[in-house]
C-alpha cells in the first residue's frame, strides 16, 4: 500500500473500473450480438473491476519479480472478492447479477474456474502491461489536481451508485410483490377447489359433469390471470364478475338437481360463498392491476433504471423469484 498515495489508489480504482466496463461491454455485446451497456450502474463504471485490480496489486506486491506467484496471489484474492461480492448482492437484492452455475467447477454460481483463470490473466496484464502507462498518467497530475479529479469522478460515481442501488431495491420489491400475487392466486385456486369439493360431496354423482366443468373454468381462469398480468389490466374485475355469476348458476343448478342435499347448498350459503370469492377476486385484482404495469417497464425514472439493470446484466437470475424475473426480462426485451 505504501507504494502509492491514497489519491493514487482512488485514481487507479476509477481508471480500472472504466477499463473493466469497456472490456465487459465489448465482450457481452459480441456474445449477445447487440450493444450491451454492461454493469450494475448506469455510467461507464464497474466497481468490481476497480476493486479487483486494487486487490490484485496489493496481493501481488510481496511477490514482485515472480510472475507466477504474482498471478496466483492476484487470482486468489480477486476470486475471493468476487465470491463475497456475489453473495452479498444476492442476499441484499435477491438476484445474481452474474451467474456461473452452468460453468464447470463453479461455486454457488458466483465464481468458477474459468473466471478465476481470467483473474490470473488479468493480474499478468495489469502488472506487466497496463500499470506502467496508468502510473505515468497519474504522474502527469499534481497531487491537488489528482485529488480534485478523484473527487469529481467519485462524486459522479457515488450518485450513480445510489440511484442504481435504489433501482435494484425497487426491482427486488417488484419481484417480491409479483411472487406474492402469484402465491395468492394459487391459494385462491385451492380455496375454490375446496369449496367445489364440499359441494360435490353433498350433491352426489349426478352433478359430476357440472363440477368438472367448474373446475376446468377455474383452472383456466386462474392460469390466465397468473400468466398474463398485462392483458388483464382494467378487465380482471369483469372476468371475476362473469366467473362468479357462472359458478353461482352452476351451484344453484347443483342444488336444484341433486335432490336431497345438505344445508350447505342453501341460497344463503351460496351467497356467502360467492361473497368470499368476490372478496378474493377484488383483492387479487387490485394486486394484479398494481403490478401489471411493471411487466411493461414503461414510464417513470424508476422503471427506466430497473430496465437498465435488467438489460445491462443479461445473465441476471433469481433463485427465489425466477418466474417473476424472467417475465420482466422478456418484457424488457420487447421494449
Residue with cell 476509477: 14
How many angstroms separate the CA atoms of 5 and 202, rounded? 83
Task: Give tens-digit pLDDT for 15-25.
Answer: 999 999 998 88
Question: Residue 314: its pLDDT value, please?
Answer: 75
Examine residue 328 and state whether it is found in any structural domain, yes or no. Answer: no
Examine residue 249 and state whether it is found in any structural domain, yes or no. Answer: yes
CB-side neighbour CA atoms (13 Å) of 297: 24
Examine residue 323 and state whether it is found in any structural domain, yes or no. Answer: no
Is there a single domain that holds both residue 132 and residue 209?
no
Is there a single domain that holds both residue 108 and residue 209?
no
Is there a single domain that holds both residue 224 and residue 134?
no
Is there a single domain that holds both residue 126 and residue 216?
no
Examine residue 327 and state whether it is found in any structural domain, yes or no. Answer: no
Is there a single domain that holds both residue 245 and residue 302?
yes
Query: Which residues, other chains included, contact 275 with Cβ-Cβ below 8 Å and sequence gap of 6+?
Result: none
Average pLDDT, the chain: 76
CB-side neighbour CA atoms (13 Å) of 49: 22
Examine residue 322 and state whether it is found in any structural domain, yes or no. Answer: no
Is there a single domain that holds both residue 227 and residue 98?
no
Question: Residue 328: its pLDDT value, please?
Answer: 81
Is there a single domain that holds both residue 114 and residue 209?
no
Is there a single domain that holds both residue 174 and residue 305?
yes
The pLDDT-based confidence of 187 (bands split at 50, 70, 90) is: confident
Is there a single domain that holds both residue 104 and residue 227?
no
Examine residue 102 and state whether it is found in any structural domain, yes or no. Answer: yes
Query: Which residues, other chains included, contact 2 with Cβ-Cβ below 8 Å and sequence gap of 6+?
Result: none
Is pTM beyond 0.75? Reply is no
What percentage of the chain reaches a pLDDT higher than 90? 32
Is there a single domain that holds both residue 221 and residue 276?
yes
Is there a single domain that holds both residue 92 and residue 203?
no
Question: Residue 322: its pLDDT value, please?
Answer: 84
What percentage of the chain reaches a pLDDT higher than 70? 65
Examine residue 321 and state whether it is found in any structural domain, yes or no. Answer: no
More confident residue, 253 or 124: 124
Domain count for the chain, please give it. 2
How many angstroms separate the CA atoms of 211 and 257, rounded? 13
H or E element in which residue 251 lies: helix 236-257
| Highest mean pLDDT: which range of 119-133, 162-176, 180-194 | 119-133
Examine residue 185 and state whether it is found in any structural domain, yes or no. Answer: yes
Is there a single domain that holds both residue 124 and residue 190?
no
Domain that holds residue 291: 170-309
Question: Residue 257: its pLDDT value, please?
Answer: 47
Supply φ then ψ for residue 124, to 5 degrees: -65, -45
Which residues on adjacent β-strands are paired with residue 111?
A: 107
Q: Cα separations (Å) of 8 from 15, 118, 138, 144, 289?
A: 10, 25, 7, 11, 52
Supply φ then ψ for residue 65, to 5 degrees: 105, -25
CATH number for the domain spanning 278: value is 1.20.58
Amino acid at each position: 500500500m505504501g507504494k502509492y498515495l491514497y489519491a493514487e489508489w482512488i485514481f487507479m480504482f476509477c481508471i480500472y473500473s472504466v477499463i473493466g466496463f469497456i472490456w465487459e461491454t465489448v465482450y457481452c455485446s459480441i456474445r449477445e450480438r447487440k450493444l450491451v451497456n454492461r454493469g450494475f450502474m448506469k455510467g461507464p463504471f464497474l466497481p468490481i473491476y476497480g476493486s479487483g485490480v486494487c486487490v490484485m496489486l496489493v496481493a501481488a506486491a510481496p511477490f514482485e519479480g515472480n510472475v507466477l506467484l504474482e498471478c496466483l496471489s492476484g487470482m486468489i484474492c480477486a476470486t475471493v472478492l468476487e465470491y463475497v461480492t456475489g453473495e452479498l448482492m444476492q442476499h441484499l437484492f435477491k438476484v445474481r447479477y452474474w451467474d456461473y452455475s452452468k460453468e464447470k467447477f463453479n461455486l454457488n454460481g458466483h465464481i468458477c474456474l474459468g473466471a478465476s483463470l481470467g483473474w490470473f490473466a488479468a493480474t499478468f496484464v495489469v502488472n506487466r502491461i497496463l500499470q506502467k502507462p496508468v502510473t505515468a498518467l497519474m504522474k502527469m497530475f499534481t497531487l491537488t489536481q489528482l485529488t480534485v479529479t478523484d473527487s469529481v469522478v467519485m462524486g459522479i460515481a457515488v450518485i450513480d451508485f445510489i440511484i442504481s442501488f435504489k433501482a435494484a431495491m425497487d426491482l427486488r420489491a417488484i419481484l417480491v410483490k409479483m411472487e406474492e400475487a402469484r402465491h395468492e392466486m394459487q391459494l385462491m385456486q385451492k380455496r375454490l377447489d375446496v369449496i367445489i369439493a364440499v359441494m360435490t360431496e353433498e350433491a352426489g354423482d349426478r352433478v359430476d359433469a357440472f363440477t368438472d366443468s367448474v373446475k376446468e373454468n377455474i383452472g383456466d381462469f386462474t392460469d390466465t390471470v397468473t400468466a398474463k398480468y398485462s392483458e388483464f389490466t382494467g378487465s380482471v374485475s369483469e372476468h371475476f364478475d362473469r366467473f362468479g355469476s357462472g359458478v353461482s348458476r352452476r351451484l344453484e343448478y347443483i342444488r336444484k338437481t341433486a335432490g336431497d342435499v345438505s344445508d350447505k347448498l342453501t341460497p344463503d350459503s351460496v351467497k356467502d360463498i360467492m361473497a368470499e370469492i368476490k372478496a378474493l377476486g377484488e383483492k387479487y385484482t387490485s394486486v394484479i392491476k398494481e403490478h401489471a404495469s411493471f411487466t411493461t417497464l414503461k414510464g417513470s425514472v424508476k422503471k427506466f433504471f430497473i430496465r437498465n439493470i435488467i438489460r445491462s446484466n443479461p445473465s441476471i437470475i433469481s433463485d427465489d423469484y425466477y418466474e417473476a424475473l424472467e417475465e420482466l426480462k422478456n418484457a424488457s426485451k420487447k421494449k
